[in-house]
Amino acid sequence: MAYRRQLREISCRYRVPQRTVAVNPEELAARGVTVLVLDFDGVLAPHGATEPLPEVVEWLHRCAAILGEERLFILSNRPDPLRADYFRREFPGVSFISGVKKKPYPDGLQRIMELSGAAPEQVMLLDDRLLTGVLAACLAGTGIIYITAPYVSLAKHPVMESFFMLLRFAERRVIALAGLLA
């Protein structure tokens, strides 16, 4: 895997739990980020939710005020129409990207760069999965913030959330092992 060192560095860099709302949009803008790309499941809400959590909605308003709604994109491997409807109502400038290969393919990020006119270094993706979103960002050359404390709801979706918790754990272990073999 050509990007295993980069994935390992990202995995190691985020040892402290990282929640979406802890990401400071003012700091991103100061670093030259002009486009913010967000995964949905785990990043904006638990799996199966159709709307972002209230604390995330407040954070999205801050991001929109700083970057502009038209500079916010949702890139999810599960582009639920109810989620798109929510954003059309509440954040009409935010675009849902669909009709591209799913992450880890960089197609979605490349499409966002085409639509926004942004260079890779101006794009920041927030994602909670190493071998999908983080790898897609590595392949596309964009920035990545690895969300290590994703939103989960074991009460609502115990099987699905447990599966993704196990998957995230396995990804970190596989990347750590691959780093030892490098």
pLDDT in tens, 126-169: 999 988 999 999 999 999 999 989 999 888 888 888 888 888 88
Greater confidence, 3 or 171? 171
| Torsion angle (degrees, nearest 10) of CA 80, 82, 85, 86 | -110
Is residue 34 over pLDDT 70? yes
- Contact predicate 29/66, CB 8 Å: yes
* The pLDDT value given to residue 182: 47
Average pLDDT taken over every residue of the chain: 90
Look at residues 124, 83, 77, 84 and name the one whose alpha carbon lies nearest to residue 105.
Answer: 77
Q: Where are the domains of the chain?
A: 4-181
pLDDT grade for 177, boundaries at 50, 70 and 90: confident
Q: Which of 41, 119, 25 is nearest to 74 (CA)?
A: 41
pLDDT tens, residue by residue, 79-99: 889 999 999 999 999 999 999
Taking the model in full, what pTM does it have?
Answer: 0.88
CATH superfamily of 4-181: HAD superfamily/HAD-like (3.40.50.1000)
136: number of CA atoms within 13 Å, CB side?
Answer: 30
Q: Which residues make Cβ contacts (< 8 Å) with residue 132, sequence separation at least 6?
A: 77, 102, 103, 104
- More confident: 51 or 178: 51
